[in-house]
Amino acid sequence: MRTDPEVDGWFAELDHPLKDGMLLVRRIVLGVDPGVGECIKWKSPTFTFDGNIASIDPRTKRYANLMFHQGAALPGKHPTLEGGGGTVRYMRFADLEEVKEKRSDLERAIRAWIELRTLRQ
Sign of CA dihedral 65, 68, 71, 76: negative
Q: What is the domain extent for residue 107?
A: 5-120
Query: Residue 117: pLDDT band by 50, 70, 90 thresholds?
Result: confident
**What pLDDT digit, counting tens, does each position of 11-58 carry?**
999 999 999 999 999 999 999 999 999 999 989 999 999 999 999 999
The whole-model pTM stands at: 0.94
**What pLDDT digit, counting tens, does each position of 83-102 carry?**
988 899 999 999 999 999 99
Q: Are 58 and 23 in contact (CB under 8 A)?
A: no
CATH code for the domain of 78: 3.90.1150.200
Q: How far apart are CA 107 and CA 121, in angstroms?
A: 22
- Count: domains in the chain: 1
Give me the pLDDT at residue 120, please: 63
